[in-house]
């Protein structure tokens, strides 16, 4: 790679980043995508709720997308990790883990979020397979199974309301004292949803498919799937170091056009939206590509 100057650098080359790159590549913008090659759904066997790609393997979908994006000659892809960003009078500078440096007029962060796994044996092995986060992405495939919800309070009630339509055997696993007000507790009782307050020690599984939940008192119960509301952190701290504000929930703050609070910096996908799905990431990337191209056009025309 001889050119170090680009119109746009896209940090993150999964669904959102590739979608943004395609929109920009089709307008002949000089683009560099920097990607670590470690998407968050890499152990998820199938992606769903994305029309024309329902049931596709995430890696195959991403590989096809990358090959199509790189057909546009002004788009370049580099497997590396962006570790530092700086704002200059002309735009922005990005440094990578391998020691390379690049500059661009605009930055797009499609870096996703990092799930923080609980200290439960077997949980990370099951994450994205039978321990899942989203009824829209996974619920149909685990319908009618004995299902747990690893959460309490409002998060548990929200998930229970969505999952209740998908299975008649639902239990909330609070791993401690349940935190439900009387109205919420009444709703759970009305729908026959049990609550187990015992701390969870392990998920027993076979190749990521849960068979039992093991509690700290050594008791155990059969389950086939669990939903979990796990905490997260941003994969990249560069947006924050540039001055991009985060929401109270920890997402990069954006407006309706996916602009961050720093001029010239955009964000799309899981790092800036609670709607965590392949379809949403692709949509957000497409919007960002168009908006960034319009900004470049207005500045240059």
What pLDDT digit, counting tens, does each position of 122-132 carry?
999 999 999 99
Task: State which fold the 5-115+231-300 domain adopts.
Answer: FAD/NAD(P)-binding domain (3.50.50)
Check pLDDT > 80 for residue 42.
Answer: no
Check pLDDT > 70 for residue 101.
Answer: yes
Report d(CA 29, CA 75) in Å as an integer.
Answer: 8
Q: What is the average pLDDT across 70-76?
A: 97
| Stated pTM of the model | 0.92
> Where along the chain do its domains lie?
5-115+231-300, 123-228
What element of type H or E holds 300?
helix 278-300
For residue 244, which of 229, 263, 257 has the smallest C-alpha distance?
Answer: 263
The CA angle 38-44-50, to the nearest 5 degrees, is 100
Q: What would the pLDDT profile of 158-194 be if each residue is shown by its tens digit?
A: 999 999 999 999 999 999 999 999 999 999 999 999 9
Which of 3.50.50.60, 3.30.70.1140, 1.10.1740.10, 3.30.70.980 is the CATH number of 123-228?
3.50.50.60
pLDDT value of residue 49? 87
Q: Return mean pLDDT, the chain.
A: 94
Report d(CA 265, CA 105) in Å as an integer.
Answer: 9
Q: Same fold for the domain at 5-115+231-300 and the one at 123-228?
A: yes
């Amino acid at each position: 790679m001889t050119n170090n100057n680009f119109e746009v650098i896209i940090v993150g080359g999964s669904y959102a980043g590739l979608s943004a790159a395609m929109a920009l590549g089709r307008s002949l913008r000089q683009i560099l995508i920097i990607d670590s090659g470690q998407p968050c759904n890499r152990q998820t066997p199938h992606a769903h709720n994305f029309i024309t790609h329902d049931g596709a393997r995430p890696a195959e979908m991403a590989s096809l997308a990358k090959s199509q994006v790189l057909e546009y000659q002004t788009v370049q892809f580099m497997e590396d990790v962006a570790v530092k960003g700086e704002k200059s009078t002309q735009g922005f500078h990005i440094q990578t883990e391998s020691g390379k440096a690049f500059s661009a007029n605009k930055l797009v962060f499609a870096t996703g979020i990092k799930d923080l796994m609980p200290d439960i044996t077997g949980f990370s092995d099951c994450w994205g397979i039978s321990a899942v986060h989203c009824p829209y992405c996974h619920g149909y495939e685990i319908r009618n199974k004995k299902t747990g919800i690893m959460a309490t309070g409002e998060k548990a009630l929200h998930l229970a309301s969505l999952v209740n339509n998908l299975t008649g055997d639902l239990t909330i696993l609070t791993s401690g004292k349940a935190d439900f007000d009387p109205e919420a507790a009444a709703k759970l009782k009305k729908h026959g949803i049990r609550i187990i307050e015992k701390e969870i020690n392990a998920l027993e599984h076979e190749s990521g498919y849960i068979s039992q939940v093991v509690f700290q008192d050594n008791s155990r119960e059969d389950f086939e799937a669990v939903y979990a509301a796990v905490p997260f952190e941003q994969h990249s701290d560069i947006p924050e170091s540039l001055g991009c504000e985060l929401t109270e929930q920890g997402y990069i703050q954006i407006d309706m056009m996916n602009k961050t609070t720093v001029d010239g910096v955009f964000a799309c996908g899981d790092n800036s939206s609670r709607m965590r799905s392949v379809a949403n990431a692709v949509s957000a990337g497409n919007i960002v590509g168009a908006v960034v191209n319009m900004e470049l056009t207005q500045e240059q025309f």
